[in-house]
Amino acid sequence: MPGKPKVAFYWCASCGGCEESVVDLAEGVLDLLDAIDIVFWPVAMDYKRSDVEAMPDRSILASLINGAIRNSEQEEMARLLRRKSRFVIAYGACAQLGGVPGLANRFSRDQILEFAYETCPSIQNPAKTRPQPGSQDAGRMTTLPEFHGLVRTLAQVVQVDYAVPGCPPTPALLRQAVTCLLDAEPPAAGSVLAPDIALCDQCPRKDSKPMDLRPEAFKRPHLIRLDPQRCFLAQGVVCMGPATRGGCEAVCVQGNMPCSGCFGATSRVKDQGAKMLSSLCSNIAASSEQEIDRILATIPDPLGTFYRYSLPGSLLRARVSRQR
């Protein structure tokens, strides 16, 4: 079957959920295989890095790469696939925004290694051994990839043409993304291949969203009975819907929990966390600074709330704590 477009899937610092989202096409996977040739998918198929290296540059139509970039091996693979592909797609929140593992940018590389290998309560490591890029054992040399100081988005490492958002993306969005890449007219460069509207517009609870939100305090979801019909913001629970792109089919809300923002922002918003913060803070029902402080203190973890998936790709990007 010569002539079928070639597509590659690859994973970097990720959890495997994006791979599962491809598999959740279920019978649709067969349609996918009719339309394209998968030339690289290490998790599923028998192609090697050396097979990719042997391909002519730009001979792959599209590489869908999920996961953030946390180590040297991931960076090398991203660069290799960029060279071999016409389009590189950041697939899923980690590749697009940094994702949940991007919250590690709040901590230094050394803090992470020290806890994992020295101070965690179950560790027994008096010699303070740590994994090494190269180590010797009776003359035998073993190597490991270098653990980088920061988590980066894919676009901070290579040029990225499109993004498919979500943690993970839905099978429907994947199907649409592949279809539009096969079109004679590919989407505009830089597009996010999902609806460019806020989640609130698609939310089954949008009728109960207050026109004028005047929060007096925020409530943590485990401490109140969650009304299964009413807008979470109207219940005083932080919901990222107003600052988050739609396209997920509001699945978390249908599980009776608020949106946590995994689809990132719409094209009109530069920084998802700042957008949500400003829209909440500008409306809080406070008449004094102390009152403002009191209300904002009811959000105990602004970073994890507003930047849960987007810290590496945000304006903040990273903060390395000097305190232990």
Partner 1 sequence: MQTQRITIDPITRLEGHGKIEIFLDDRGDAERACLQVPELRGFETFCIGRPAEDMPQITSRICGVCPTAHHMAATKALDDLYQVQPPPTALKIRELVYNAFMLEDHALHVYLLGGPDFIVGPDAPKELRNVVGVIQKVGVDVGKRILAMRRRLRELIAYFGGKVIHPVFGLPGGVSKGLAPADLPCVRQTAADAVDFARFTLQLFKDVVLKTDAYLALITSEAYTHRTYYMGLVNGRNQPDFYAGKIRVVDPTGNEYANFPTQHYLAYIAERVEPWSYGKFCYLKPLGWKGFVDGPESGVYAVAPLARLNVADGMATPEAQKAYEEYVATLGGTPVHHTLANHWARVIEMLQAAERMRELADDPGLAGTEIRTIPTATPKAGVGVVEAPRGTLIHHYETDDQGLIRKANLIVATQGNSARMAMGVEKSAKALIRQGKVDDGLLNMIEMAFRAYDPCHGCATHSLPGQMPLTVSIRDAMGRTVRELRR
Of residues 138 through 197, those in contact with partner 1 by CB under 8 A are 139-140, 142, 144-145, 147, 167-168
Residue closer to partner 1 (CB basis): 117 or 191: 117
Residue closer to partner 1 (CB basis): 48 or 79: 48
Q: Does 79 bind partner 1 (CB under 8 A)?
A: no
Indicate which single residue of 37, 41, 172, 294 sits in contact with partner 1 (rule: CB under 8 A): 41
Indicate which single residue of 31, 53, 79, 120 sits in contact with partner 1 (rule: CB under 8 A): 120
User: For residues 295 and 238, what is the distance between their CA atoms, to the nearest angstrom?
Assistant: 12
Angle at 23 between CA 175 and CA 69, to 5 degrees: 85
Q: Does 320 bind partner 1 (CB under 8 A)?
A: no
Indicate which single residue of 6, 70, 82, 84 sits in contact with partner 1 (rule: CB under 8 A): 70
Residue closer to partner 1 (CB basis): 9 or 162: 9
Residue closer to partner 1 (CB basis): 175 or 186: 175
Binders of partner 1 among residues 249 to 288 (CB under 8 A) are 251-257, 260
* Residue 123: CB minimum distance to partner 1, A: 5
Residue closer to partner 1 (CB basis): 225 or 322: 225
Quickly count: other Cβ atoms within 10 Å of residue 323's Cβ: 4
* Residue 299: CB minimum distance to partner 1, A: 9
Binders of partner 1 among residues 198 to 227 (CB under 8 A) are 220-226
| 171-182 helix and 28-35 helix, angle to the nearest 10 degrees | 20
What one-character DSSP code corresponds to residue 228? S
Q: Which stretch binds partner 1 (CB under 8 A): 54-62, 78-86, 102-110, 209-217?
A: 102-110
Q: How far is CA 307 from CA 99, 245, 259, 302, 315, in A?
A: 9, 14, 12, 8, 10
Quickly count: other Cβ atoms within 10 Å of residue 129's Cβ: 10
Which is nearest to 60 in space by CA: 156, 153, 161?
161
Quickly count: other Cβ atoms within 10 Å of residue 319's Cβ: 10
User: For residues 151 and 180, what is the distance between their CA atoms, to the nearest angstrom?
Assistant: 30
Indicate which single residue of 31, 35, 48, 210 sits in contact with partner 1 (rule: CB under 8 A): 48
Q: How far is CA 59 from CA 4, 53, 56, 106, 167, in A?
A: 11, 11, 5, 39, 29
Quickly count: other Cβ atoms within 10 Å of residue 185's Cβ: 6
The end-to-end CA distance of the chain, in Å, is 59
Indicate which single residue of 1, 2, 34, 124 sits in contact with partner 1 (rule: CB under 8 A): 124
* Residue 21: CB minimum distance to partner 1, A: 6
Q: Does 47 bind partner 1 (CB under 8 A)?
A: yes
- For tokens 């958002």, what's the residue? 165
* Residue 118: CB minimum distance to partner 1, A: 8
From residue 291 to residue 310, the character string flagging contacts with partner 1 as x (rule: CB under 8 A) and all else as - is: ---------xx-xx---x--
* Residue 237: CB minimum distance to partner 1, A: 11
Q: How far is CA 265 from CA 12, 37, 61, 155, in A?
A: 22, 32, 27, 16
User: For residues 200 and 245, what is the distance between their CA atoms, to the nearest angstrom?
Assistant: 9
Indicate which single residue of 5, 36, 37, 111 sits in contact with partner 1 (rule: CB under 8 A): 111
